Amino acid sequence: MKFALTLACFSLLGLIIPYSSPAQCLELVWSDEFNTNGPPNPEYWGYDLGSGNGWGNQEIQAYTNNAQNVRVEDGKLKIQAIKQNNVWTSARVKSQGKKSFKYGKIQFSAKLPAGSGTWPALWMLGENISSAGWPACGEIDVMEHVGKTPGKVHGSIHTPSSSGATVNTSTITIADFNQAFHDYEIIWTADEITFRVDGNAYYTYAPAFQNADTWPFDKNAFIIMNIAMGGIFGSDDQYETGGLQNGVDPNLTSALMEVDYVRVYQEVESIAIEGPSMVEPYSTGLSYQVTNLIEGTFNWTAPPGATITSGQGGPAITVDWGNTDGEVSVEVIGQCGAYSASLNVENVTVPQGASYILDDFEDNNHERWTAEPGNGNSFVFTESGGALNIAYSVTAPGANPKAVLHLEQVVDLSVYSKMRARVKTLNNSGTVNMRIDLFDLNGAATNATPVFKLEPLVDNGEYAVYEFDFSGQWGSSFPNAGALVDSSRVAGLNLYLDYGIFGSPGSDEVWLDYIEMVDPQGISGLSEVLEDAGFAIYPNPTKNTVILSMNAPLGQWKAVDCQLYNLQGVRLLSQQWADPTIDLQLNVEGLPAGMYLLALRAGEKVVTKKLFIE
């Protein structure tokens, strides 16, 4: 009841009737048990601050978020009004914009302050108050107590049909309100709101006719807890001065309300899991939790290679991931029945080396490429000598003939946004026209203009390096115009040949040596002339060790950081080369056979070399 006077009288709209529980079963879906000392959990709670011009009720306190006024201590939320230099400060804690609820049981376990002039409250406001205003948003005063009438607890409803001095209210007497904790709660359904203390119902608001004036309670509401001092409802006439609603016992210097817990129970039809659905391989400390059920027996499972490190049996777990996609699943036995949910989790590669190789055609893995030439066109792939040859015949350019590279894992390219492709063609047909689009996990492709094209085309049969920076160029024009490609979730690329309305029919060949992504703000990748850097590595291929040798003058290269990455961008080894005048030996024994990237960094210069392990 934070906006005006509440009177204890009956209403034609809100009838005082014995509470008869509807046929419903409620599960605990959210709670704050106040188990961590310090300020209230900022994930759940914010504050109203200042004097608020009396907060609409001529209250005399100023609200703060200082620890003397609000803190979690000894398993309790403590809201304390304090008088210093004849000025009262207090606290008003709210879940607005953080947690809100519609229907169910909202329960506070609280011990109330004593003292004439105190006005503690546990209450709720419609989440739409910022747009609808008060009282159109609706207000539910789960518990109000004014110290001038000790032990009389009020439960009230404020709506456009009755607000301020509302008639939708009733009271119950709690003799030990300031000595013991009691459960102050409402049962809120689509038809009625019943007020209870320790499970005993004393008032039900059930308007015979529901509209915006009588029932604004079909929307979410947030929670508020506070102690006001004085004010229209709390002021004690015998202590008032200057015609103000400032009547507080002059001998009172402090008032403390303690809240043991806030709990919300609701009907649950199904549950869901919240947590990251895209993870880096071998990530640790990943959190997954059931979003709308926190009480019961929880049996979690994770895919092979992932380990549940804590939380099994409860509503939230911590997982150390492996390198396998799969589902995080949970089976729950609750108070009202059994529930299950699963969340599909996929690995995402986050490159860490100097560049990220989309494909360099060194490992005979061109099966990741698929041909989508369209009717009347054909592609033939041949991989040899560290390059991919695409021989094609196009009679229908309008079919947008393309080759598609599907990456083994989704890749975060939000930093590595410059593409380099080393390509050659003789262009004997005179029709070679090639472009590359990246696409994300949802299929959105970088097909808005400008796009990455081989322009100008070098057609002397020698390799040329073509570059394009996708920074700011992640737009998509089809199939969903105006969408942005998620650069942190790139799933592959489309390579078009002799395509579109400007394409010409023809048969020809192109060779791809590599396609890589690099950071446009920083360093380089495979397209550099690596020999100019002055490094040599041997033997290459190797089995157990590799030697790094310096050929450049020492003044150019001083201390060097050597880092070995696999093709997924995972760093496997890191070693300092303190004196490059002496050859450095790296031990690679035990690593699987295949191609790796050796990144060498000295100051701002970084080069990358391919290393093959047999």
SS3 532: helix
Residue 575 DSSP code: E
Q: What are the distances in angstroms from CA 231 to CA 24, 158, 572?
A: 39, 18, 67
Q: Is the pLDDT at 341 greater than 90, yes or no?
A: yes
Helical ranges in 105-171 per DSSP H = 129-132
Q: Can you tell me which residue has the tokens 């049909």?
A: 161
CATH annotation of 27-266: 2.60.120.200
pLDDT for 525 equals 46
N residues, the chain: 614
pLDDT at site 242: 94
Query: pLDDT by residue (tens digit) across 477-497?
Result: 987 788 999 999 999 999 999
- Residue 603 — very low, low, confident or very high, per pLDDT cuts 50/70/90? low
Judge whether 202 and 170 are in contact, CB under 8 Å: yes
Please give the C-alpha separations between residue 479 and each of 44, 474, 503, in angstroms, as whole numbers: 40, 14, 20
Q: Out of 3.40.1280.10, 3.40.640.10, 2.60.120.260, 3.40.430.10, select the CATH number for domain 357-518.
A: 2.60.120.260
Residue whose structure tokens are 């290393």: 611
Outline which parts of the chain fall under CATH 2.60.40.3080: 530-613
Q: Which two tokens stand for residue 546?
A: 């590799």
* HSE-CB of 87 using CA atoms within 13 angstroms: 7
Cα gap 288→329, rounded to integer Å: 10
Is omega for the bond preceding 456 within 30 degrees of 0, making it cis? yes
* Ranges for all domains in the chain classified under CATH 2.60.120.200: 27-266
pLDDT per position as a tens digit, 521-547: 765 444 433 334 567 788 888 888 888
Locate 67 and state its tokens. Answer: 């620890």
CB 295 within 8 A of CB 313: no
CATH domain 530-613 topology: Immunoglobulin-like (2.60.40)
User: In the prediction, which pLDDT does 212 show?
Assistant: 97
CB 374 within 8 A of CB 319: no
Using a cut of 0.75, tell me whether the model's pTM lies above it: no
Read off the pLDDT of residues 87-97 as tens digits, 9 standing for 90 and up: 999 999 999 99
| pLDDT-based confidence at residue 20 (cuts at 50, 70, 90) | very low
Q: Report the pLDDT value the prediction gives residue 571, as an integer from 0 to 100.
A: 76
Cross-strand partners of 538: 547
The pair of three-digit structure tokens given for residue 203, joined into one six-digit string = 């008032």
Distance CA 283, CA 410 (A): 15
- Of residues 136, 292, 161, 151, the one with CA closest to residue 217: 136
Average pLDDT estimate for 359-385: 88
Write the CATH number of the domain with boundaries 273-349. 2.60.40.10
What pLDDT digit, counting tens, does each position of 49-70 carry? 999 889 999 999 999 999 999 9
For the cut 60, the answer to whether the pLDDT of residue 7 exceeds it is: no
**277 CB neighbour count, 10 Å cutoff:** 14
Name residues whose C-beta falls within 8 Å of residue 324's C-beta, 6 or more positions apart in sequence: 303, 304, 305, 306, 347
Q: Give residue 26's identity as a one-letter amino acid code.
A: L
Domain with CATH 2.60.40.10 in the chain: 273-349
**Residues annotated catalytic, as ranges:** 139, 144
Q: Which of 23-32, 416-425, 514-523 has the lowest mean pLDDT?
A: 514-523
Name the maximum alpha-carbon separation found in the chain: 104
Q: Which amino acid is at 252?
A: L
What helix, strand, coil percent values describe the chain, rounded to 5?
A: 5, 45, 50
Banded pLDDT at 498 (limits 50, 70, 90): very high
